């Protein structure tokens, strides 16, 4: 297994390159900004990028997913139900993105946005159990994603509650690799530490700990930060529906 994390400060976000070194194939998740670092990382590790995945249609920054996929000769991946312009590879819940000895299982986790997915990653050379979860803006370190940027706050919160309940069923040791950290506008109490585990978040993440749906909706309705500047326009541009 090869894994590289890219931390961005303007805008705040986290991207990932991961894959199978033995079979020389990789995926990039939630790329932001200049695509050169991802291409260089793939070259440095001797891997070909097969997939470029956006966990969701972002509203806080411009995605470079389509640009990177084109440059790398990779498939651009979104959830199959995403309201986005073709062409992209549409994946569904429980689909597998094969990467040699590494497998990335798609989990549809709506709430932050309707099309949001997480990727549950297993390295079969080490164990049959999953190793880490790329969570995008569904579950982050210290908080969960805001829910009003693509739908109503309440509808999004109810979907997110059900999505988080699925994640709570994962083993406690599964690592959480989120798409944002402290400073991002997509959460309220985010830690500056850009990784955690399911077990730690179940114990210490106040939003993730809530077990009652109505209480969760009430909590998500408090202290909602202002929306990102031009959020609707960014989502439309990232979906390919308008020219950025």
Q: Does 243 reside within a domain? A: no
pLDDT at 106: 98
Q: 208-223 burial, b if ≥16 CB within 10 A, otherwise e?
A: bebeeeeebbebbeee
- What would the two tokens of residue 6 be? 């890219």
pLDDT in tens, 48-103: 999 999 999 999 999 999 999 999 999 999 999 999 999 999 999 999 999 999 99
Nearest to 111 by CA among 193, 186, 176, 31: 186
Distance of CA 88 to the CA centre of its chain: 17
pLDDT in tens, 161-211: 999 999 999 999 999 999 999 999 888 889 999 999 999 999 999 999 999
Q: Is the pLDDT of residue 45 over 60?
A: yes
Range of the domain at 140: 2-238
Cα Dmax for the chain:
49
Q: Does 205 reside within a domain? A: yes
Tally of domains in the chain: 1
pTM over 0.75: yes
pLDDT at 187: 82
> How far apart are the C-alpha atoms of 133 and 174, rounded to whole Å?
7
Q: Does 148 reside within a domain? A: yes
Q: Are strands 175-178 and 132-136 parallel, antiparallel or unpaired?
A: parallel
Question: Apex CA 195: angle with CA 101 and CA 142, to 5°?
Answer: 140
Q: Is the pLDDT of residue 243 over 80?
A: no
pLDDT in tens, 96-150: 999 999 999 999 999 999 999 999 999 999 999 999 999 999 999 999 999 999 9
Percent of the chain at pLDDT above 70? 99
Q: Does 244 reside within a domain? A: no
Residue 124, domain CATH: 3.60.15.10
pLDDT at 42: 98
> Which alpha helices (DSSP H) does the chain contain, by range?
36-44, 65-72, 153-168, 198-204, 206-209, 213-220, 231-238
- What would the two tokens of residue 164 be? 């988080």
28, 194 Cβ separation under 8 angstroms: no
Q: What is the mean pLDDT of residues 10-38?
A: 97
Q: Is the pLDDT of residue 244 over 80?
A: no
């Amino acid at each position: 297994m090869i894994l590289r994390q890219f931390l961005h400060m303007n805008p705040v976000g986290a991207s990932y390159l991961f894959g199978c070194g033995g079979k020389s194939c990789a995926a990039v998740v939630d790329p932001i900004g200049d695509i050169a670092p991802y291409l260089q990382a793939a070259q440095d590790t001797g891997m070909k990028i097969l997939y470029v995945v956006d966990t969701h249609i972002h509203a806080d920054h411009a995605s470079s997913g389509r640009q990177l996929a084109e440059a790398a000769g990779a498939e651009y991946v979104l959830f199959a139900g995403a309201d986005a312009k073709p062409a992209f590879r549409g994946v569904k819940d429980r689909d597998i993105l094969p990467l040699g000895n590494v497998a990335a299982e798609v989990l549809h986790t709506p709430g932050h946005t309707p099309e949001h997915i997480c990727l549950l990653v297993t390295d079969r050379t080490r164990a049959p159990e999953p190793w880490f979860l790329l969570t995008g803006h569904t579950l982050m370190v210290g908080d969960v994603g805001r829910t009003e940027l693509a739908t109503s706050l309440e509808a999004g919160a109810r979907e997110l509650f059900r999505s988080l309940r699925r994640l709570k069923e994962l083993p406690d040791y599964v690592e959480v690799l989120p798409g944002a950290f402290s400073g991002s506008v997509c959460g309220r109490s985010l830690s500056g530490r850009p990784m955690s585990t399911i077990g730690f978040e179940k114990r210490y993440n106040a939003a993730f700990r809530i077990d009652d749906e109505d209480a969760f909706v009430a909590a998500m309705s408090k202290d909602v930060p202002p929306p990102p500047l031009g959020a609707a326009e960014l989502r439309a541009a990232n979906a390919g529906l308008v020219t950025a």
